[in-house]
Amino acid sequence: MNDRELLEAAARAAGIVIDKSPFNGGGRENTGFDVMGNAVLDWHNGTKWNPLTDDGDALRLAVKLNLDIEFDTLPDGPIVGVVAPWNDNFGDYRWYEWLLKDALSATRRAIVRAAAEVGKTPNVGGNRLAPTQEQR
């Protein structure tokens, strides 16, 4: 998944609506993303959302989805893991990123990857976090 797909799936998991309307200020070719790669929630007031680059957006996403963030050190170096209480049938799922260069960026990416996985999975088979069809 590229960053845009990650953000779209993470937004879906959190019930966040990306503004793709051509009539709301985004224009005819509106993809819902600005030139910097931020998801745009409202073109009129400039509300943007990008938990890959914004610590606050990442924290709000983790809280909304009840994600656990854990840090550990392996023989190859430090890692961050994000745990999603995802599926009644299979238990929790974990996503890991190495913390070697930029710990904040790696933590945000792990949060978004976990949220994206939740967002791309339909609310069936015990997936407790994905929005139901009525919630979308």
Provide the CB-side half-sphere exposure for 38 (13 A, CA).
16
User: Could you read off the pLDDT of 13-61 as tens digits, one per residue?
Assistant: 888 888 776 666 666 677 777 777 878 777 667 788 999 999 999 999 9
Q: What letter represents residue 119's amino acid?
A: G
* Lookup result for tokens 């139901």: 132
The pLDDT, as a whole number, for residue 30 is 72
The pLDDT, as a whole number, for residue 95 is 84
Q: Do the strands 68-74 and 39-42 form a parallel or antiparallel pair, or are they unpaired?
A: unpaired
Largest CA distance in the chain: 53
Overall average pLDDT of the 74-102 stretch: 80
* Lookup result for tokens 């009525």: 134
Task: State how far the Cα of 136 lies from the Cα of 133, in Å rounded to an integer.
Answer: 5
Residues with Cβ within 8 Å of 74's Cβ and at least 6 positions away in sequence, in order, are none
Task: State how far the Cα of 79 lies from the Cα of 37, in Å rounded to an integer.
Answer: 26
Angle at which helix 103-120 crosses helix 55-64, to 10 degrees, equals: 40
User: Could you read off the pLDDT of 114-135 as tens digits, one per residue?
Assistant: 998 888 765 544 444 544 444 4
The pLDDT, as a whole number, for residue 19 is 77
User: Could you read off the pLDDT of 90-116 as tens digits, one per residue?
Assistant: 556 778 899 888 999 999 999 999 998
Q: Would the pTM count as exceeding 0.85?
A: no
